[in-house]
Structure 1
Amino acid sequence: MSIAFYVGKNLTKDGSTLLGGFGHEPSSHWIDIVPAQNHPAGSRIQVGVTEAANLPGELITIPQDRNTYKYISSTYSEFLGFPPPLTNGGLNEHGVAGRDVWSDSRQELIDMTPEPQRGLNYSDLARIAMERATTAREAVEITGGLINAYGYATYGGNSHLFADENEGWVMIEFAGGQGLWAAERLGPNDVRVSYPGYIHDFPVDFKNNDDYMGSDNIVDFAREQGWRNPEQDDSDYLNLQDVYGVPFPGIGVDKEEDHFTAMRIPPEREDELLTLLPMSLEDMLALVRDPRWSNDQAGYGQVAHIRPHVHKDLQTLWVAVTGAVTTPYVPIPIVTKPSAVPPEFVQHRYLTKYSDSEPLSPDYAMQEATRYATREFKRLLYFTSEHPELFLNRITGSMESLEMKMLNERKELEEKYLTLLESEGADAAQKMISKNVEKWSFKSLQLGQELTYKVEKITRKRFGIRMPEDTADIGETTPPWSQSMVKKPDEPYVNCYDPELDIYPRKFGIYSKDED
């Protein structure tokens, strides 16, 4: 699934580009800072999907660039059988941010997907964009070029949203094994919500328009299939969603019956976003945290704060290690050392694919011995979801009070970095920033543990711990708490949404006075 919010620089309070969102994945999540690297000539990387994917495939290798850039990412281990580790993007050292968002292709395209399929998957494209792109436009050129050269392996259609300090690009990759893709530029006066990703009017002469890109066959293939008959439609534009996609899943869904699905109409979310303009970083943090979509399926939270007039080392990705509805963000400037991410915030075995069936490698014993931040914040989510009317706003207030402290120190911290960079050199300046990231990571974890302790104590005293009911087949003797814990298709995701709590979207920090 996933969601992404783009706001151009002319529509923000500080002239920055904002790109926020998260991925919907039922797996473990952690934070990686991947360093810039040099690779020997002839290096190759493995891409694609295996036979275990929902649309089976075959892995291939493609050439690696000699040099890859540093980037910050939320990493995870599972989505529809795709090989881990996986990423939806992040922020790289050139100030290019990326988000990955689902975008279902029409059934005929899914049906014509070859078996096995070959090519780059959505995560491969996001990762390579972070490794190689210096602008958002270049991210599309690189990923589109890779699809042209090596093909695309899909789970049924997908999209990406790339951004830099000047512009954004939404890119749709279609199922079918035909190498179909298209991209649309988003300027400094644009907003876009991908939920799912979409492009409507796409010019048939896109090759003569700098605001669009696409595969050579993106127009002709629709005509060949009879999905766009030029005798009936001589328009200069192709509605890509109508021709290659499916209707927004939220159309016609009652918000009271299924608010989570009803939210999935991007133009409606864009209208809401317009009410927040000019938008601040804080407003974007609150939007990504919104309980209408941040729930147990939300793997993490990210907001890329891409500013035009700061030192490139200080471009910052605000990261919540798991769903931001009950997880504080921590600001991570791109200059931060990879080792500054505490072991509590990197990979652990909880919910991690392939880690449940064999003993632990001794090399990972100390890493695994630490508390796993994702698990700690998940505990807070699960407790809060039982009684959100009692807990959610106060928990949000506590988290945003902590984040206000981080926000209030940014100017002084960045000035100190520049002073150190000039007086003592890059190593001393980087060390200072890295210690700051480590400090706030630990403080966020400490707050999460304290909140969980308080909420658990109140819950036990006032309500007790609700246990699962017996849902076993007739004749089953296993106690309900030992049966499968997997969500059933007709069950909602664990969530903290309550329409009585507030009118959404809401302003950042409004609950902080109630944090106790």
Structure 2
Amino acid sequence: MAAFPLPSCDTIVVLAPHTRAGATILAKNSDRSPYECQPLAQAPHRVHRDGATVHCQYLEIPQVAETAAVIGSRPFWLWGFEQGLNEYGVAIGNEAVLTRETLPSTGLLGMDLVRLGLERSKTAREATEIIGGLIERYGQGGSAQYDVDFRYCGSFIIADHVDAYVLESSGRQWIVRRVEERACISNRLTIDSGSLGSADVESYARARGWCEGESSFDFAAAYSSRNPGKDKSDPLTARGRLARSRELVSRNGRRTIREMLAILRD
């Protein structure tokens, strides 16, 4: 019987001190269909008039005064990016995660958030706070797949020359963990507690009975889809991919671009 490769949608970052070239490396696979092509799209640095708006995939929101030049991998039917880079060296990769939230038909997509984060930031920390603020204000929703109605929340690695952050979300709630040396994400929630997040991320979950008793708050355990425990929930079969990428990226030595490409192919 022929063996078919599993789709791989995984994002990895290694900070500059742990790479051979001394430069931060962000790498990502996208598991979209081969028929859902992703041409590289560019947008120049722009200054916008007062009162301008930007039309994302399903929402039109106020535009900021100035947006950075960006380049990104853009599924042909979407406004936003799967991954991208801006003129200031901020890079973002996006993953689908399924959570307990039932998403509406209109909201921001993870791809919208990647592009908005890149266009509106000069550092990874700034992009992280921008994406979190947009999630809180506008929420997530709408189909993110071309041929079927498939709605999901976003997980992100956001990096620049010196810093990187993992941001995970559910509906209008979000949480952030700062990356120490390297990090990997896939199609599942991983953060237990974070250094930054929405103000009511814990109270929202407790009000819905997603946290057990008086136990300490664990974002992944509380928000993961159909989950009383984060290790029991893996609806997008990400656990094995995540473990494998973590193993490979943590091996001794400083990572190279060639090695990162090999990890993506593994």
What interval of TM-score do these two structures reach, taking the shorter chain for normalisation?
0.7 to 0.9
Paired residues for 1:234-245 under 5 Å: 235=216, 238-245=217-224
Structure 1 SS opposite 2:187: coil
**Could you say which residue in structure 1 is the equivalent of 2:60?**
61
What SS class does the counterpart of residue 198 from structure 1 fall into?
coil
1:90 positional shift: 0.9
Question: Structure 2 CA distance, aligned partners of 1:39 and 1:267?
Answer: 44
Distance 1:220 1:283 in 2: 42
2:182 aligns with 191
CA contact (8 A) 1:250 1:262 kept: no
Is 1:228 the counterpart of 2:211? The answer is yes
2:258 counterpart residue number:
282
- Greater CA deviation, 84-93 or 138-147? 84-93
TM-score for both structures, normalised by structure 2: 0.82
Which one has a bigger Cα radius of gyration? 1
Q: Which residue of 1 aligns with 2:248?
A: 272
C-alpha distance 2-146 of structure 1, shift in aligned 2 (>3 A): same
2: CA distance between counterparts of 1:21 and 1:145? 24
Please tell me the residue identity of whatever aligns with 1:135: T
Q: How do residues 27-426 of structure 1 correspond to structure 2 at under 5 angstroms?
A: 27-49=36-58, 60-78=59-77, 84-106=78-100, 109-110=101-102, 113-114=103-104, 117-153=105-141, 155-175=151-171, 179-187=172-180, 190-202=181-193, 212-231=195-214, 233=215, 235=216, 238-246=217-225, 247=230, 261=237, 264-275=240-251, 277-288=253-264, 290=265, 292=266
CA drift of 1:219 comes to 0.5
Structure 2 counterpart of 1:240, one-letter code: F
Cα distance between partner residues in 1 of 2:139 and 2:189: 21
Q: Give 1:13's aligned residue.
A: 20
Q: Could you tell me which residue of structure 2 aligns to residue 438 of structure 1?
A: none
User: How big is the shift at 1:68?
Assistant: 0.8
The AA in structure 2 aligned to 1:267 is A
> Relative to 1, partners in 2 of residues 1:133 and 1:97: Cα closer, same or farther, differing over 3 Å?
same
Q: Deviation per CA, 1:113-164, whole angstroms, max 9, x where unpaired?
A: 34xx443221111111111111111111111112222222251222111001
Cα deviation per residue 1:308-329 (whole Å; 9 max; x = unaligned)? xxxxxxxxxxxxxxxxxxxxxx
- The answer to whether the aligner puts 1:23 opposite 2:14 as a matched pair is no
Flag the 1:191–1:248 CA change in 2: closer, same or farther, 3 A: farther
Cα distance in 1 between the residues matched to 2:169 and 2:239: 23
Alignment of 1:499-514 (within 5 A): none
Question: Which ranges of 4 or more aligned residues in structure 1 deviate by more than 6 Å?
Answer: 248-251
Aligned partner of 1:456 in structure 2 is none
Contact 1:89–1:130, Cα closer than 8 Å, also in 2: no
Q: For the structure 1 residues 219 and 250, does the alpha-carbon distance in structure 2 shift closer, same or farther, using more than 3 Å as the test?
A: closer
8 Å CA contact 1:47, 1:119 repeated in 2:
no
Shift of 1:73: 1.0
**Any unmatched runs of 5+ in structure 1?**
50-59, 79-83, 204-211, 252-259, 293-516
Residues 432-447 of structure 1 aligned to structure 2 (within 5 Å): none
Whose strand fraction is larger, Structure 1's or Structure 2's? 2
- The answer to whether the Cα contact below 8 Å between 1:22 and 1:99 also exists between their aligned partners in 2 is no
| Distance in 2 (alpha carbons) for counterparts of 1:16 and 1:276 | 17
Indicate conservation of the 8 Å contact 1:136/1:162, yes or no.
yes
Q: Partners in 1 of 2:73 and 2:60 — Cα distance?
A: 24
Letter in 2 for 1:15: G
What is the root-mean-square deviation in Å for CA atoms of aligned residues? 2.5
Amino acid at match of 1:186: V
The match for 2:145 is none
Aligned residues: 245
- Whole-angstrom distance in 1 between the partners of 2:189 and 2:237: 16
- Tell me the distance in 2 between the aligned counterparts of 1:48 and 1:219: 29
Higher relative contact order (CA 8 A, sep 6+): 2
Note closer, same or farther for the CA distance 1:245–1:275 as it changes in structure 2 (3 Å cut).
same
Distance 1:75-1:265 versus aligned 2 partners, 3 A rule: closer
- Percent identity between the two aligned chains: 26
Task: Give the whole-Å Cα distance in 2 for the aligned partners of 1:262 and 1:92.
Answer: 28
Q: What are the superposed Cα offsets for residues 187-220 of structure 1, whole Å, 9 maximum, x if unpaired?
A: 3xx22111125333205xxxxxxxx211111110
Q: Which runs of 5+ in 2 are unaligned?
A: 1-7, 143-150
Cα separation, partners in 2 of 1:118 and 1:29, compared to 1, 3 Å? closer
